[in-house]
Structure 1
């Protein structure tokens, strides 16, 4: 039990520093982009239906069209990214790749050819979808509660996957959201719950008696 809690804390610290690092890189790129009159966005933003532009799906999330644009994306990217990463960095990286691909390909296939798409909002929608669905698929009580709370508080963001403002890439939002849902399914926990496995008598006695029994029981119920 103590090892599970220690691992969760370690993974949470990694998730925190990872997302702080991601934000630092995005804001540094924005500063360079701004001083260049947003030339990086024009050069490395994603244009649809051109094979030579396809790799730009990997640079698109680092670029933004204005300071207001990056400010709007930064907080939800950090929050949803942290919640997506705190259960383990390896799974988080794979999920991020799926979101990048689905969001980028959706834009590349269906966006207007004259449009240049930039921004991390597709990743935001992807992490949102992943966090909401992950707890239900993994049958983890803590993650399920987190997902339900996030879905209830931020349900309004789903309006962003509908056609609306021509200056906002709803296709990127939709593709990112689908990537998060697919990632939650692909990388769901397929192993049986550890608490369901038989336990040695000595271990059982140690955790079901004594003053810490209630604490151990609560932590087990939370999936820790």
Structure 2
């Protein structure tokens, strides 16, 4: 018998929080675009101590003169974040904020060059990696379906982890994908799990399953011992007794009487 204990998140939360995040991204984008104030200085410059704040602000900043940058990040982060909240409610925000911080740290430590890194793409890669790997670890069909869906939607993103264009932060993509996969492994026992059979639950509780084969063999041994005991008792009861058969032999007179004719006529 299977037992399921999976509770997905609220659809309202799954829509609300990603929506607020995307709104915040666009508010900052338009504020920078309208005011003319350059917020790139709050981005992340690798190996520069004064740029530590970029670990926090980097995902919220986008190129003010390039609509395609923020547009290309808005829908994926909304969809992936919403999927994370709905299907992994218990660990969703842990995964999201750890991805946010560690992706930035990875860029700060390993990225080369003196350019500022900005944009939400590193977090997108982290959520992509988590959702893809996590579904297969859990052996749960709804989550495996999500893994396949994510691959079909964004599988081509994997090429973004290789250096192609100078203006693209492939280090951020690689860092995000790596941390997403690591979080999927780390939290594989947390959140929704596949249905378990009764014997699996008993094993987790330390309850040993019955040894049916051993019980069957023990029963056969008991029956054999019982049979041998009955044979031994019967042997002991019959030991010392002698069976005497009494046979009444035929006498000559009896034989002559049997040979006389029945009708009383004398023999000629």
TM-score w.r.t. the length of structure 1 is: 0.78
Q: Which deviations, in whole Å up to 9, do the C-alpha atoms of 1:62-116 show, x marking residues without a partner?
A: 0001322101111111111111221244411111122123321221123234200
- Shift in CA distance, 85/96, structure 1 to aligned 2, threshold 3 Å: same
Is residue 149 of structure 2 the alignment partner of residue 149 of structure 1? yes
Any stretches of 5+ residues in structure 2 without a counterpart?
A: 200-268
Instruction: Pick closer, same or farther for the CA change 1:163–1:197 going to 2, 3 Å.
Output: same
Partner of 2:251: none
Distance across 2 between alignment mates of 1:12 and 1:187: 22
1:192-221 deviations in Å (ceiling 9; x for gaps): 7554247xxxxxxxxxxxxxxxxxxxxxxx
- Is 1:96 equivalent to 2:96 in the alignment? yes
Structure 2 distance, partners of 1:25, 1:148, is 30
Between stretches 82-91 and 123-132, larger displacement belongs to 82-91
1:12 match: 11
> Residues 18 and 115 (structure 1 numbering): CA distance in 2 closer, same or farther, change over 3 Å?
same
Q: Tell me how far apart the structure 2 counterparts of residues 117 and 38 of structure 1 sit (CA, whole Å).
A: 17
State the partner residue of 1:67.
67
Displacement after TM superposition at 1:12 (Å): 2.8
**2:28 maps to what in 1?**
29
Any gaps of 5 or more consecutive residues in structure 1? Answer: 199-224
Tell me the distance in 2 between the aligned counterparts of 1:111 and 1:82. 29
The answer to which structure has the higher helix fraction is: 1
Deviation at 1:121?
0.4
Distance in 2 (CA, whole Å) between partners of 1:37 and 1:196 is 61
- In structure 1, the residue matched to 2:116 is 116
Question: In the alignment, is the contact (CA less than 8 A) between 1:33 and 1:41 conserved in 2?
Answer: no
Match of 2:207 in 1: none
Q: Would the alpha carbon gap of residues 196 and 101 (structure 1) be closer, same or farther in structure 2, given more than 3 Å must change? A: same
The alignment partner of 1:39 has SS state of coil
Q: CA deviation at 1:45?
A: 0.5
Q: Is the 8 A contact 1:12 1:87 kept in 2?
A: no
Report the equivalent of 2:197. Answer: 196
Structure 1 position 58, deviation (Å): 1.1
- TM-superposed CA distance for 1:168, in Å, is 0.5
Normalising by structure 2, we get a TM-score of: 0.66
CA distance in 2, matches of 1:141, 1:88: 14
* Root-mean-square deviation over aligned CA pairs: 2.2
Other-structure match for 1:180: 180
CA 1:38 to 1:156, structure 2 compared with 1: closer, same or farther past 3 Å? Answer: farther
Q: Is the 8 A contact 1:11 1:88 kept in 2?
A: no
Partner of 1:202: none
Q: Would the aligned equivalents of 2:106 and 2:172 in 1 still touch at CA under 8 Å?
A: yes
Inter-CA distance 118–74: structure 2 relative to 1 (3 Å threshold): same
Q: How many residues align?
A: 193
Residue 81 of structure 2: aligned partner? 81
Structure 2 equivalent of residue 139 of structure 1: 139
- Shift in CA distance, 147/194, structure 1 to aligned 2, threshold 3 Å: closer
Residues 89 and 29 of structure 1: is their aligned pair in 2 closer, same or farther, counting only changes over 3 Å? Answer: farther
Instruction: Please give the alpha-carbon distance, in whole angstroms, between the structure 1 residues aligned to 2:77 and 2:67.
Output: 15
User: Cα deviation per residue 1:5-29 (whole Å; 9 max; x = unaligned)?
Assistant: 8x53x52321111101111111111
